[in-house]
Amino acid sequence: MTGAVLAGGRGSRMGGVDKGLQHFNGIPLALHTLLRLQMQEGEWLGATLINANRHLAAYEAFGVPVWPDTLPDYAGPLAGFITALLHCDTPWLLTVPCDTPRFPLDLAQRLVQAVGDEHAEIAIAAGPENGGPVRTQPVFALLPVRLLPSLQAFTDAGGRKIEAWTQQHRTAIVPFDRPSDDPLAFSNANTLAELHELQQMQQIPLSK
């Protein structure tokens, strides 16, 4: 599969700054996410790419291909899905947002396993946020390139919600709520205050 870091949002709740380039523990959020994603390379993951719409040269400095949305006007995560699928050279795509720096290091493995076990077309993670209840995390998705025409038809018709599209296909929901799972794995930084709070938490090692 190919891994895609989605960093194409407006950053509206961060005052319009480019969220992926805000520093987390000394490095840009998107680079931190990319490194964490690349740790899952090998058996599960091959190539990686970034979806971004601003400051493309800064993202290209991270050493992987960078592609802006093919849809106009910051159309949301599904625009990132479409862009990544269009540039995906493998049968499967794994997507992760740039603003959730503790996401699981076994994300790829468990989503792949769920697709096989449940004979699903798509797998989506579910987990708690900030100690709250388990809920779906639809931007953490594993999907096949062959569903690109379906997704394009959905967005052409005005669809923008991930789960409104995935419910059209056999989708496995994969809970990350084992005792050994990080309860803050899916805590994200929508605001600068939330980013600061995440930085005050225990330092996150970049190794298993």
Average pLDDT value for residue range 72-98: 94
Residue 163 lies in a domain: yes
Residue 50 counted as domain residue: yes
Query: Does a structural domain hold residue 191?
Result: yes
- Mean of the per-residue pLDDT values for the chain? 90
Q: H-helix or E-strand containing 143?
A: strand 134-144
pLDDT for 108-133, tens place per residue? Answer: 999 999 999 999 999 999 998 766 78
Determine contact, residues 102/184, Cβ cutoff 8 Å: yes
Q: What CATH number does residue 108 fall under?
A: 3.90.550.10
56 within some domain: yes
Instruction: Answer whether residue 206 is part of any domain.
Output: no
pTM summary value = 0.91
Res 53: pLDDT = 94
Q: How many helices (H) and strands (E) are present in the chain, helices listed first?
A: 7, 9
**Domain extent at residue 65:** 2-200
pLDDT-based confidence at residue 81 (cuts at 50, 70, 90) = very high
Number of domains the chain is built from: 1
